[in-house]
Structure 1
Amino acid sequence: MQLLNKSTLSEQLVSVLGASEVKTDQESCVLYSQDVYAKDKPCAIVIKPSCAKKLAQAVSIITQAGYSVVARGGGMSYTGGYVPKEQHSVVVDMSALNKVLEVNTKDMYVTVESGCSWEKLYTTLKEHKLRTPFWGTLSGRFATVGGSLSQNGIFWGSAQHGFAVDSVLSLDVILSDGTTLTTGSAAKKGTQPFARHFGPDLTGLFCNDSATFGIKTKATLRLIPEALHKGSTSISFMEFEHQAELMSEVARQGLASECFGFDPFLQGQRMQRESLGKDIKSLFGVMKAAGGVGKALKAGSKIALAGRDFIESECWSVHFLVEDWTEQGVELKLNKINQLAKDLQGKVVENTIPKVMSANPFGPVNNMVGPKGERWVPIHALVPHSKVQEAYLATEAVFNKHAALIEQYNIGIGYLLATVSSTVFVIEPVFFWPDELNELHKHALEPAHLKRLPGFTANPAASNAMAVIRADLISKYAESGYIHMQLGKSYQFKQVLDAENYQLLTDIKKRFDPNNRLNPGCLGFD
């Protein structure tokens, strides 16, 4: 396919979208072509459409011109999902397609444009005392609904309700020729998007796809009532094994809406990052969320008295949030968790962390760098509960193998742990290393926070060492049979999937995108 001249393509896109929605300057093309970790070839053009129909026209124009199309949500991922593989590419910034289109309180669904942030959706639904079952990632101030469905995501609501993709009912998706496909019950003419399953599950086909099958422009998600009562508890452990077993047992019994844990290193990093000003803001958030003057004062005073030393520095910690329709129900769940913890030699500590996080669910994304401005990237594995200890030991073996590199380049390593519904355990090593921040970091961090960071000069040797360790760990997870969210262009997929399954996906890809113009490189579609 012969490539159209860039300036001619730009003119055609301006004629459809308008000049304000098309960017060709180098600064924009560099910024929108990198994620938190990866930076490769800058795209040729960035578009920021505000109309789905016009975006469909633009996609048709771009693919006919021979360029690839890469959809970008909030930009908070780190597996190369929206980092263009080709220089002749157009990045679609979806953030202007951000409307909440319908809140249907009778039929219990909400429809949004896919560039809507989780924070905006949560705030809108809170007025109705409703929410989606999965209700956002920690980066939900920026992270979008469409991005989370393309990459899959976890956090708020995940321990009880599963992954981001488990809450979706229907999608509108633009294919590479500009055709728009609707999935779920809404695919039947004149029918509302109230059900996901009407024949084969086409909705699922466009989830976890890194926008390589199509570009999602609209999503409908289930609604549930917001719980009347909430509570939390925090437990410290001296070792990983007992903490992991508690998390698994709580997941099996369905006691928590959120469950997450830290190792001593990552816990220390989080504490170093924060400031006194942030403490005060967090305290006000907790007091406001407590409801009632007496409860607010009690919640605030407990956190103030606990300070930052409520968990011993050498301990692991795990934090649970629970919900119920009655205070007694919350108390029963918390008592059950605390008793399970005691049986596993855990120690109940002040629940400052879950209180603060629950009261401020979508804070700034300053945690995407280390406390001194170090670079940061996680890698994760999804495993069944029976494989958790094995996965931890396999991870530690990779770190032991690279101990010299880790010491030489001062690479810090911690763990974030979580559970998803009753069946999935997430083990996520998190890396910090000294290197300069990229344009995305400087764009996304709060200016005052960025100014306070000492920062580092360019350190390509440290980043190269980090890349070696990261690649080795990804290979270890692949050979061990573990799976992943956020496949992007980082995790192995084609290499590990059954040949028959991958051939079917290849055939589908050829039907939807015969020239491989939608995000080439993702899912192994080179």
Structure 2
Amino acid sequence: MPLLNKSTLTEKLIVVLGASAVKTDQDSCVLYSQDVYAKDKPCAIVIKPSCAKKLSQAVSIITQGGYSVVARGGGMSYTGGYVPKEEHSVVVDMSALNNVLEVNTKDMYVTVESGCSWEKLYLTLKEHKLRTPFWGTLSGRFATVGGSLSQNGIFWGSAQHGFAVDSVLSLDVILSDGTTLTTGSAAKKGTQPFARHFGPDLTGLFCNDSATLGIKTKATIRLIPEALHKGSTSISFTEFNHQAELMSEVARQGLASECFGFDPFLQSQRLQRESLGKDIKSLFGVMKAAGSVGKALKAGSKIALAGRDFIESECWSVHFLVEDWTEQGVELKLNKINQLAENLQGKVVENTIPKVMSANPFGPVNNMVGPKGERWVPIHALVPHSKVQEAYLATEAVFNKHAALIEQCNIGIGYLLATVSSTVFVLEPVFFWPEALNELHKHALEPAHLKRLPGFAANPVASNAMAVIRADLISKYAESGYIHMQLGKSYQFKQVLDAENYQLLTDIKKRLDPNNRLNPGCLGFD
């Protein structure tokens, strides 16, 4: 396919989108071509369409001109999903497609443009005392609905309701030639997007694909009522295996809406990041969320008295949030969790962390760097409950293999743990290393927080060491049969998927995107 001259392509895009929606300056092309971890070739052009119709026209122009198209949500991912592989790429900044189009309280669904942040959607639905089952990632102030569906995501609501993609009913997707495909019941002309399954599940086809099969412009998601009553508990352990077993048992019994845990290192990193001023602001949020003056004073006094030493520094910790229609139901669940913990040698501690996080679900993304400005990146494995201990030992074996390199380059390693619905355990090693921040960090962090960080000079030796350890761990997970969300361009997929399955996906890709112009490099489509 002949490649269109960049200036000619730019002119064509300006005609469709307007001059303010098309950027070719170096700073924009560099910023929008990197994620939290990866940075490769800057794109040629960045576009910011304001409506799906204009985007479909633009996609047609771009792909006919021989350029690739890469959709970017909130930019909070770290597996290279939207990092262009080719210089002749156009990155689509989806942030202007951010409207909540319909809140249907009778049929219990919401339709939203895919550039809408989870925070905006949550606040809009809160006015109706409704929410989506999965209701956002921790980075939901920036992270978008479309980004989470392309990469898949977990956190708020995941322990009970599953992954981000599990709540979706219908999608509008732009294909590589600019045509739009609608999935779910809405694919039948004149029918509302109230049901996901009308024949084979085409909605699922366009989830977890890093926008390599199509660009999602609109999503319809189920609604559920907000729970009337909420509660939380925190447990500390001296051993990983006891904490993991508690998390698995709580997941099997469906007791928690959210479940997440830290190892001692990650716990200390989190506490180092926070300041007294942040504590006070968080305390006000907790008291406001308590619902009454008496409850607010009780919640506030407990946190104030607990201070910063509510969990011993050498302990693992796990935190549960529960929901129910009655206060008694909440108490029953919390008592059950605490009893299970006691049977596993756990110690109930002040539940400061879940209270603060629940009261402030979409805070700043300052935690995307370490407490002194270290670079940060996670890797994860999704495993069944029966494989958790095996996965932990396999991970530790890789770290032991590289122990000298880790010490030499001052790489810090912690663990974030979570569960998804009743069947999935998430083991997420988290890395911190001394290295200069990139443009995305400087763009996304709060300016005052960024100014306080000591920071580091460029450190290619440590970054190269990180890349070696990261690649080795990813290979170990692939060899062990573990799977992943957020496949992007980092995790092995083509290499580990059954040949028949990958051939079917290849055939679909060729049908939808015959010239491989939608995010080439993702899912092994080179």
Same structural fold, with TM-score higher than 0.5 when normalized by the shorter chain = yes
Distance apart, 1:8 and its partner CA: 0.4
Deviation, structure 1 residue 2: 1.0
Distance 1:183 1:436 in 2: 43
Q: Distance in 2 between matches of 1:110 and 1:2?
A: 42
Partner of 1:377: 377
How far is the alpha carbon of 1:488 from its aligned partner?
0.1
Q: CA deviation at 1:483?
A: 0.1
Taking the aligned partners of 1:252 and 1:232, their CA distance within structure 2 comes to 18
Q: For residue 271 of structure 2, what is the aligned residue in structure 1?
A: 271
1:300 aligns with 2:300: yes
1:94-135 Cα distance to aligned partner (Å, 9 max, x none): 000000000000000000000000000000000000000000
C-alpha displacement of 1:322: 0.1
SS at match of 2:303: helix
| Displacement of 1:201 | 0.2
CA shift, 1:252, in A, is 0.1
Q: Structure 2 CA distance, aligned partners of 1:297 and 1:49? A: 47
Cα displacement (A) at 1:263: 0.1
The one-character-per-residue Cα deviations of 1:21-66 (angstroms, maximum 9, x if unpaired) are 0000000000000000000000000000001000000000000000
Task: Give the CA deviation at 1:331.
Answer: 0.1
CA offsets, 1:395-429, max 9 Å, x none? 00000000000000000000000000000000000
In the superposition, the TM-score normalised over structure 1's length comes to 1.00
Deviations 1:165-196 (A, max 9, x none): 00000000000000000000000000000000
**Over residues 446-501 of structure 1, what are the superposed CA-to-partner deviations in whole Å (9 max), with x where a residue is unaligned?**
00000000000000000000000000000000000000000000000000000000
Matches of 1:51 and 1:7, distance apart in 2: 23
1:443 shift after superposition: 0.1
State the distance in 1 between where 2:122 and 2:284 align.
20
Aligned counterpart, 2:234: 234
Return the alpha-carbon distance in structure 2 between the equivalents of residues 149 and 504 of structure 1.
21
Q: CA deviation at 1:371?
A: 0.1
Measured after TM superposition, the shift of residue 293 of structure 1 is 0.4
Alpha-carbon offset, residue 285 of structure 1: 0.3
Q: Which 4+ stretches in 1 moved above 3 angstroms? A: none
Structure 1 residue aligned with 2:113: 113
Deviation at 1:265, TM superposition (A): 0.1
Mark the runs of 5 or more structure 1 residues left unpaired by the alignment. Answer: none
1:494 and 2:486 matched: no
* TM superposition shift of 1:231: 0.1
Q: CA deviation at 1:387?
A: 0.1
RMSD, matched Cα = 0.2
> Separation in 2 of the partners of 1:53 and 1:374?
42
Tell me what 2:342 maps to: 342
CA distance in 1, matches of 2:423, 2:464: 35
SS at match of 1:367: helix
| Residue 81 of structure 1, CA deviation | 0.1
- Which residue pairs with 2:259 in the alignment? 259
Structure 2 regions of 5+ residues with no counterpart?
none
- Structure 1 Cα separation of the partners of residues 94 and 479 of structure 2: 35
Using the TM superposition, give the Cα deviation of residue 524 of structure 1 relative to its aligned residue in structure 2, in angstroms. Answer: 0.1
Residue 170 of structure 1 aligns to a residue whose secondary structure is strand
- Note the alpha carbon deviations across 1:286-324, whole angstroms, 9 max, x for none: 000001100000000000000010000000000000000
TM-score of the pair, normalised by structure 2:
1.00
Q: How far apart are 1:344 and its partner, in Å?
A: 0.1
Using the alignment, how far apart are the partners of 2:240 and 2:257 within structure 1? Answer: 22
Aligned residue for 1:389, secondary structure, equals helix
Partner of 1:235: helix, strand, or coil?
A: strand
**Cα offset for 1:75?**
0.1
Instruction: Give the distance between the partners of 2:484 and 2:73, measured in 1 at CA.
Output: 19
Following the alignment from structure 2 to structure 1, what is the Cα–Cα distance between the partners of residues 433 and 162? Answer: 32
For residues 136-165 of structure 1, give each alpha carbon's deviation from its aligned partner in whole angstroms, at most 9, with x where no partner exists: 000000000000000000000000000000
SS at 2:181 equivalent: strand
Whole-angstrom CA distance in 1 between matches of 2:415 and 2:452: 25
Alpha-carbon shift at residue 211 of structure 1 (Å): 0.2
In 2, distance between residues paired with 1:5 and 1:274?
A: 50
Whole-Å separation in 1 of the counterparts to 2:50 and 2:288: 35
Separation in 1, partners of 2:129, 2:470: 42
Structure 1 residue 517: Cα displacement: 0.1
Aligned partners of 1:276, 1:208: CA distance in 2, in Å? 39
CA displacement 1:365-386 (0-9 Å, x = unmatched):
0000000000000000000000
User: Which whole-Å CA distance do the structure 1 matches of 2:82 and 2:275 have between them?
Assistant: 33
Give how far 1:227 is off.
0.2
Secondary structure of 1:232's aligned partner = strand
Distance 2:508 2:520 in 1: 14
- Give SS of 1:386's match: helix
Q: How much does 1:280 deviate?
A: 0.7
Q: Distance in 1 between matches of 2:458 and 2:167?
A: 42
What is the alpha-carbon distance in structure 1 between the residues aligned to residue 440 and residue 167 of structure 2?
29
Q: CA deviation at 1:248?
A: 0.1
Post-superposition offset of 1:329: 0.1
Counterpart CA distance in 2 for 1:277 and 1:9 is 50
Shift of 1:355: 0.1
- Partner SS for 2:328: helix
Residue equivalent to 1:396: 396
